[in-house]
Amino acid sequence: MADTSVSTSSATGATDPETTGTRPADPRAAFDYAPAPESRAVVDIRSSYGLFVNGEFVDPVGGTSFKTISPATEEVLAEVGEASVEDVDLAVRAARRAYTRVWSKMPGRERGKYLFRIARIMQERSRELAVLETIDNGKPIRESRDVDVPTAAAHFFYYAGWADKLEHAGFGNDPRPLGVAGQVIPWNFPLLMLSWKIAPALAAGNTVVLKPAETTPLTALLFAEICQQADLPPGVVNIVTGAGETGSAVVAHDDVDKVAFTGSTEVGRMIAKTVAGTDKRVTLELGGKAANIVFDDAPLDQAVEGIVNGIFFNQGHVCCAGSRLLVQESVADEVMERLKRRMSTLRIGDPLDKNTDVGAINSAEQLAKIHELSDVGEAEGAGRWSPPCDLPARGFWFPPTVFTGVSQAHRIAREEIFGPVLSVLTFRTPAEAVEKANNSPFGLSAGVWTDKGSRILWVANQLRAGVVWANTFNKFDPTSPFGGYKESGYGREGGRHGLEGYLA
């Protein structure tokens, strides 16, 4: 990163309203917000953390650790224990003991009480969790406070309700837990992904060993404290921090009965190979390149809000992000003009500021990947545009960016960029929209914007995507299943369906 404030402003070419002079003066001028930082004082970040095994924080056997930093400032937050194969083995043994002796024997209504208790403590400590998530991940406090933490608690409430009703979930009269679940999660929604994994596993009677992402371990470790506070029996939840090798040890461990992974398609493929030929059950939630389809009869202002939410929410670090905008040719110019005007009002900067819309990119590696693919987009001939914005001098930052004139062959139309970068394609007929939307190796999500209910149903039926949002985007609810087709993985998380992956 440059060591001074960076201003970005580039023009896309002759049709760009900025260059043709039709665009109004910088709309941010009308919205001058005073800083409104959330206090860090609510969180007590320790200087070092051990692994959470058998209900206690323990030092890793080899004594090695790594640093977790704030991506917004590059400040070192804490030293975190790095779990070796031996540590993973101890965690799996603890999980097996807890499974055999306690958790699998406990009536569902008793397991449910623990899950309700965890959910309530998460609500009570929600401010602490939100601030910590924002500091460690770089996402705006508005998102961690209003989306991540409440939705994470909602998952525990929801699955707590299923714990004593499993025989009514549609998986036979006597569904049984699988045993020990090994779970590996990414850095984009650290606490929320943890709850997607742990809540259904525990409700179904399994015990877990979970590995958080290397860059975002802190809320998982605070969750471990919550397990202690809830008096969860030791060994039911174990948290092993570390890098890819730790994840690989969890997946490969002989005594793990179920593997649940969210992350890149590349690592998902490696995991599928590792577990092939074993008795392990697997669910994989991988990448995406969602089409967000805007028809000419859509309410355009709402559609623009949906486009912005679809790609700039969480800096675009969202597997189901609406990263490909398919807009009907007859309204393309108007949509682009409104979109650029709206993008110019996005506030980028301090994630702890309650006014911030777009926070920091999670890591230097991810920032480099976003730069690389954006440069490829430009080199392949797409028009690049970002609103004028000042980026902080330290930390990892990327301005909201839109590429116009993108074709199916462009890499930015096919590959997951996982950043605040939108590729815009046009179409003329509904059939063309469907054809282009489905022309992707992924199949996780999609959005449809139109006034016609019949068209929503027709398009949704044709789309090969696990989730299709109509006149909205990025809506998450614990009662609703989520998962993909093709290279987006297999298995479903959330809802009644989410229990299936944890029951025999």
DSSP letters of 264-289?
-HHHHHHHHHHHTTSS-EEEEE----
CA gap 439, 423 in Å, rounded: 14
**In the annotation, is 319 catalytic?**
yes
- Residue whose CB is less far from ligand NDP, 309 or 450: 309
DSSP secondary structure letter of residue 102: I
- Residue whose CB is less far from ligand NDP, 119 or 468: 468
462, 434 contact by CB (below 8 A)? yes
- Residue whose CB is less far from ligand NDP, 244 or 441: 244
Range 258-297, binding ligand NDP (CB under 6 A): 262-264, 267, 270-271, 286-287
Q: How far is the CB of 193 from ligand NDP (least distance, A)?
A: 8
CA gap 245, 35 in Å, rounded: 41
Question: Which listed residue (82, 128, 319, 500) is catalytic?
Answer: 319
218 is a site residue for ligand NDP (CB under 6 A): no
CA gap 103, 97 in Å, rounded: 9
- Residue whose CB is less far from ligand NDP, 128 or 416: 416
Q: How far is the CB of 423 from ligand NDP (least distance, A)?
A: 14
- Residue whose CB is less far from ligand NDP, 134 or 315: 315
- The closest alpha carbon to 56, from 246, 228, 229, belongs to 228
361 is a site residue for ligand NDP (CB under 6 A): no
Alpha-carbon distances, residue 196 vs 244, 489, 504 (angstroms):
20, 16, 19
- Residue whose CB is less far from ligand NDP, 357 or 416: 416
CA gap 224, 221 in Å, rounded: 5
**Based on C-alpha coordinates, what's the Rg of the chain?**
23
Residue showing the smallest CB distance to ligand NDP in the complex: 247
CA gap 130, 82 in Å, rounded: 24
213 is a site residue for ligand NDP (CB under 6 A): yes
418 is a site residue for ligand NDP (CB under 6 A): yes
Q: How far is the CB of 200 from ligand NDP (least distance, A)?
A: 17
Range 125-184, binding ligand NDP (CB under 6 A): 184
**In the annotation, is 285 catalytic?**
yes
List the x/- string, 304-343, binding to ligand NDP by CB under 6 A: ---------------x------------------------
Residues 6+ apart with CB under 8 A from 409: none
The answer for 384, left when phi > 0, alpha when psi is -120 to 50, beta otherwise, is: beta
Q: Which of 102, 243, 346, 376 binds ligand NDP (CB under 6 A)?
A: 243
- Residues lying near ligand NDP in the complex (CB under 6 A) are found at 184-188, 211, 213-214, 243-244, 247-248, 251, 262-264, 267, 270-271, 286-287, 319, 366, 369, 416, 418
